[in-house]
Amino acid sequence: MLQIASPRSVLAAAKQLVPFCFKKNKELRIVIDYYEDRINGTEALLELNELVRQRLRLGKVRIPIPLPTYHAGKHQVARMRVLKWRARKSKPKTGDIHP
């Protein structure tokens, strides 16, 4: 069994596997294009939906929503974590007395 823990290892594995895969070749290329910012998440979703429609992939056709490129999304998530952390730090603790 192949277990992959990070996006970096997903990209490395996809690049190594793509020459040897017939059935999953298109899906691996979508993954590579997404992680290398050649397509955004919405384009990846649309391509995966098309594979489902063509019955080359199992799953549901998902409703397309605006999704950023991988690196832009990663940056947005990191920024939100910082903002949440700052908001928690600035909240008064229960029991604190403020003038």
| Helix or strand run (H / E) with residue 2 | none
Task: Enter the pTM of the model.
Answer: 0.79
86: in domain:
yes
Distance CA 11, CA 5 (A): 11
Assess if residue 35 is contained within a domain. Answer: yes
* Predicted pLDDT of residue 44: 98
Per the domain annotation, does 99 fall within a domain? no
Owning domain of residue 70:
7-90
Spatial separation of the C-alpha atoms in residues 41 and 68, rounded to whole Å: 5
Encode pLDDT of 9-51 as tens digits: 999 999 999 999 999 999 999 999 999 999 999 999 999 999 9
Q: Sign of dihedral through CA atoms 77, 79, 73, 32?
A: negative
Number of domains the chain is built from: 1
Residue 70 lies in a domain: yes
Domain contains 77: yes
Residue 95 covered by a domain: no
Query: Looking at the domain assignment, is residue 24 inside a domain?
Result: yes
Q: How far apart are CA 68 and CA 57, in angstroms?
A: 23
Q: Is residue 62 part of a domain?
A: yes
